[in-house]
Amino acid sequence: MSEAASTRIPLALLPSLAPLLHQWLPRQRWFAGKGTPVTGFSLVSATELLPLRSPGPGLLHLLARVEQPGSPGDCYQLLIGVRETLPTALAPALIGHLADGPLAGRTVYEGTHDPRLAALLLERLRTPGSLGPLRFQRYDGSPAIPGGLAPRPLGAEQSNSSLVYGDAYILKLFRRLHPGPNPDLELPLALARAGCERVPTPIAWYESATPEPFTLGVLQPFLRGSRDGWVLALEALAEGRSFRAEARELGQVTAEVHTALARALPSVKLSGAQSEELAAAMIRRLEAAVRTVPALDSYTPRLRKAFEAVSLLGRRGRIWAAQRVHGDLHLGQILRGPVATPWSVIDFEGEPARPLTERCRPQPVVRDVAGMLRSFDYAARTHRPWNPSWAEACRDAYCSGYAEACGADPRAEPELLRAYETDKAVYEVVYEARHRPDWLPVPMAAIDRLATLD
C-alpha cells in the first residue's frame, strides 16, 4: 500500500491490514473482480472517523484502489472497524486479526455491521461539515435528521451496502467508485428540484473531495411498508391474477419520470453517426459476452441483425431523441407502499458494471422501457408452469400506460426497442453466468426468442 492523499493513521498499520483485505475482499458480494486474483492495493485516502487507539471501537474510512491482472484498478470504499475483542454478534463481519504493527493483536471487521459505528455515519450526516477529504452535505430545505435512530444493515443488495435507521431513513453506501457525481445522487436531486414526487428526495450525502471527487453515500427516506414490483408480480403469478393494471400504472410512472428528467436536464438528438456507434457498442458487448458464455455463439448472426437494423436506420437519416434515463429499470426498482400509496422509483445508479461515463450519457427512453419488458419476462419464467401470455399482457399494458402518460408509444420504435431488449438480454446472460448459474436458462430463453423474431 502507498501513502494516502490524506490520513491520520500510522502508516505502519497499512502493511498488516493489506494481507487481510487480500483474502476478505473477493468474498464480498459487492466486489466486482471475482474470479481474478488481487495482486495489490494502493491507498487513495484514509480517514479516522473514530480514533483507532481508543478503548472502544475505532472506525477507519478507506478509499483503496484494488489491483488485478488485466484491470486498471477499481477504487472501493471500505469502512473498517477496529476492536480489541470482537463480540459474538459481530463474528460474521470479521476481516481478520492484525499480526503486527501499532495495533497488533486487535481485530478488524466490516464496520457497517456494528451499530455503534453505523450510528456514527448518521451523526456525521446530520450536520454538514468536513473531516479530512470527506465532505458531509445536506439538501437545502430538508427537515432536521433526528438523532438516536437505531441502525440495521439491509442485506438484499449485490453491488452496494445499505443501512436503515429507525425505519425512517436509508443510507446507501457506494462500494465500487467512479470519479464524478454518482447518478443515484445526481438524478434524484434534479428530479426533486423539478418537483417530481415519484422519486424519494435525497436528504444528505457525503463525498470525497480529493484527490478525486467520489460520491460515497446518499441518505434518503426509507419507504416503510413498501414492496417492490418484483414481489408483487410474483404474488400475482402465484395466485393466478392478472398484473395488467399494475403494469399500466408502471408505464405511466416511467413516463412521468422521463418527462421530469427531460425538463430538468439537457436532451439531445442522436445523429446518424451516433446511432451507428450505439449499435456498434451493442455488437461489441455481444462479442465480449460470447467469450464469456460460448452458448451465445450460435445466436450471434441473428442477434447482430437487431443491432445492425439500428445502424442502418441511422445511416438513412433517422434521428432519435436522447435524454438522461434511469439506466437499470426493472420491477425491483419500483416500490409501492400500503394501499392507495403511489409508486416510487429508486436506484438511479444504472448498471454498476458499466462505466460511469456511459451511464451518465443521454440515451433514448426506450432503454428503460426495454429493461422493464425484460423484467416482466423474468417474472413469468420463474413461475411454473411458464405463462407467456401473462408477460405479453404486461408488456402491452405497460407500453399503453406509457403512451397514455406522455403521448409517445415506445412500440412506435420497434427496431430500437428490439435492439435494447436484445442488448439487455445479452447483459443478463453474462450476469447470470457469473453470479447465478441456475438462472441462466431465463435470459437464454429470451435470447432464443429474440433471435427468431422477424
Residue 56's pLDDT is 87
Question: 323, 187 in Cβ contact below 8 A?
Answer: no
Closest CA to 337 of 228, 233, 199, 196: 228
Mean pLDDT of 267-293: 96
Report residue 248 as a C-alpha cell: 399500466
Residue 157's pLDDT is 61
Domain boundaries, the chain: 13-116, 119-221, 227-451
Enter the pTM of the model. 0.92
**Mean predicted lDDT score pLDDT of the chain:** 93
Of the listed ranges 33-37, 173-177, 190-194, 443-447, the one predicted with least confidence? 33-37
Closest CA to 200 of 232, 238, 162: 162
Residue 158: pLDDT band with limits 50, 70, 90:
confident
Tens digit of each residue's pLDDT (9 = 90 or more) over 213-237: 999 999 999 999 999 999 999 999 9
**pLDDT of 9 over the 80 cut:** no
The fold of 227-451 is Aminoglycoside 3'-phosphotransferase; Chain: A, domain 2 (3.90.1200)
Q: Which residue has the cell 442522436?
A: 270
Mean pLDDT of 309-323: 96
Tens digit of each residue's pLDDT (9 = 90 or more) over 23-50: 999 999 899 887 788 888 888 889 999 9
Residue 5's pLDDT is 40
The fold of 119-221 is Phosphorylase Kinase; domain 1 (3.30.200)
Question: 209, 201 in Cβ contact below 8 A?
Answer: no
Residue 2: pLDDT band with limits 50, 70, 90:
very low
Mean pLDDT of 295-310: 97
**pLDDT of 244 over the 80 cut:** yes
Residue 29's pLDDT is 87
The answer to whether 119-221 and 227-451 have equal CATH topology is no
Cβ-based neighbours of 327, under 8 Å, separated by 6 or more: 183, 348, 349, 350, 351, 359, 363, 367, 368
Percent of the chain residues past pLDDT 70, beyond the cut: 96
Residue 6: pLDDT band with limits 50, 70, 90:
very low
Mean pLDDT of 62-69: 92
Distance separating alpha carbons of residues 237 and 232, to the nearest angstrom: 9
Tens digit of each residue's pLDDT (9 = 90 or more) over 324-341: 999 999 999 999 988 767
Tens digit of each residue's pLDDT (9 = 90 or more) over 86-131: 999 999 999 999 998 888 999 999 999 999 999 999 999 999 999 9
Of the listed ranges 265-279, 293-307, 376-390, the one predicted with least confidence? 376-390
10 Å Cβ neighbour count for 137?
15
